[in-house]
Structure 1
Amino acid sequence: MVFYFKARPEAGDFTIFMGLDKYENEELIKYGFPEDIWFHVDKMSSAHVYVRLHKGQTIDDMSEGLLEDCAQLVKANSIQGNKVNNVDVVYTPWSNLKKTASMDVGQVGFHNSKMVRTVRVEKRINEIVNRLNKTKVERKPDLKAEREAVNAAERAERKQQLREKKRREELGRLEKEKQTELRSYKGLMVAENMTSNKQIASGSKSLQELEEDFM
């Protein structure tokens, strides 16, 4: 089971989501998207919360409002973190999450600690948490199928881009050949290589002269 929430409208059309338990978290870790940003309460047990950014966006494109929604939601879904103030929430791109065979279910590390950011949550803001909970939707998605569908679409897009590149290269080659042919033709048409009708006539015998020669 995955729980989906809608971020505040002024932040844009963004979906925040989290798994029901550590087993669902394991699936979210495995089948995440490059646009996903992961959130967790630092040094405490909490839900794994994600926000899916728009294609082409990065963690630097997150607005303060969107960041606050995610941080408040992950704090509210931490048994220990929800009870205390001044909680640190860490967040990082999904691609930076590291999973090894020796880790417990739902446990995760990082490839690069420098890519992990921290935001301080002074206290729970019920207005934000309640607003998010009103948008809560429960679904049982096939995360593997969703990831495979995206992979297939990306492969098709890359193939199309490759075809377009080859087409542009072929058009460029043909245009280059055309220009080379035109330059060659113009070289043949320069004045010093041309003979006028007058020159041809002056170098030829007249009909009368030909007749006289024949006689």
Structure 2
Amino acid sequence: MVYYFTSILTTPPARIYAGKDKFENEELIKFGLEDDVWFHVENLSSAHIYLRLSEDQSWNDLPEDLLIDCAQLTKANSIEGNKKSDVSIIYTPWTNLKKDGSMVAGQVGFKDSSQASRISL
């Protein structure tokens, strides 16, 4: 079951999606949209969190409050990450995600690693 969240830190409110497990993460990878931004705890297992951008938003110029909201949600949905005092959250446009047949369910890579950003919490 995919989880849906609404962040009211922006106008209009932002829609956020999260997979419950690696199989739902796989579905989110497959059916993402060009205006989605993907979030994940770097180097740890976590839910895949997707932010659906509004028309006037850019993935690399998100309002700081919204970016922190998405990053906190990502950290909270990591069994190991939510216990740590400091984690790195990586985020990138959905269009930058790369999936090939050698990857296990829920695993992704990047087409261009320079198109990925990080925020520390």
Normalised by the length of structure 2, the TM-score is: 0.95
Answer whether contact 1:39 1:74 (CA < 8 A) is retained.
yes
Tell me the alpha carbon deviations over residues 14-51 of structure 1, each in whole angstroms, 9 at most, x when there is no partner: 11110121111111101100110000000000000010
Give me the whole-angstrom Cα distance separating, in 2, the residues matched to 1:38 and 1:46: 12
Equivalent in the alignment of 2:87 = 87
**1:64-79 → structure 2 map (5 Å cutoff):** 64-79=64-79
Equivalent in the alignment of 1:11 = 10
Give me the whole-angstrom Cα distance separating, in 1, the residues matched to 2:56 and 2:2: 24
- SS of the residue corresponding to residue 89 of structure 1 reads strand
**1:16-165 → structure 2 map (5 Å cutoff):** 16-55=16-55, 57-121=57-121
The structural deviation recorded for 1:65 is 0.7
Counterpart of 2:9, as a letter, is E
The structural deviation recorded for 1:61 is 3.5
- SS of the residue corresponding to residue 9 of structure 2 reads helix
Q: Which runs of 5+ in 1 are unaligned?
A: 122-215
Give me the whole-angstrom Cα distance separating, in 2, the residues matched to 1:50 and 1:31: 11
Identity across the alignment (%): 52
The structure having more radius of gyration, on CA atoms, is 1
| Greater relative CO, 1 or 2 (CA 8 Å, sep 6+) | 2
**More strand per residue:** 2
Tell me the alpha carbon deviations over residues 127-158 of structure 1, each in whole angstroms, 9 at most, x when there is no partner: xxxxxxxxxxxxxxxxxxxxxxxxxxxxxxxx
Q: Which runs of 5+ in 2 are unaligned?
A: none
**More helix per residue:** 1
- SS of the residue corresponding to residue 11 of structure 1 reads coil
Runs of 4+ in 1 over 3 A off after TM superposition: none
Counterpart of 1:102, as a letter, is S
Normalised by the length of structure 1, the TM-score is: 0.54
The structural deviation recorded for 1:103 is 0.4
Counterpart of 2:79, as a letter, is I
Count of residues paired in the alignment:
120
RMSD over aligned Cα, in angstroms?
A: 1.0
